Amino acid sequence: VIHLMEDQRYIDYVGGSMRLGAYTCKLCPDSLAHRSYGSLQISERHRHRYEFN
């Protein structure tokens, strides 16, 4: 599911309102991402206003 981030939902003018930089991501145990990264918490670099869930 791809959706707008919660803090972007009610913004009418989206110029310059992206999430920029590194953010902590908590991974689900036994998920493909967890197995790939080998950690439950990683730092992901973002440059967009949408999230993938």
Domain span at residue 13?
2-52
Which pLDDT does position 4 carry in this prediction? Answer: 60
pLDDT along the chain (53 residues), means of 10: 62 60 85 94 73 60
Q: Is the pTM of this model over 0.75?
A: no
Tally the domains of the chain. Answer: 1
Specify the DSSP class assigned to residue 37. Answer: H
Q: Cα–Cα distance between 14 and 1 in angstroms, integer?
A: 21
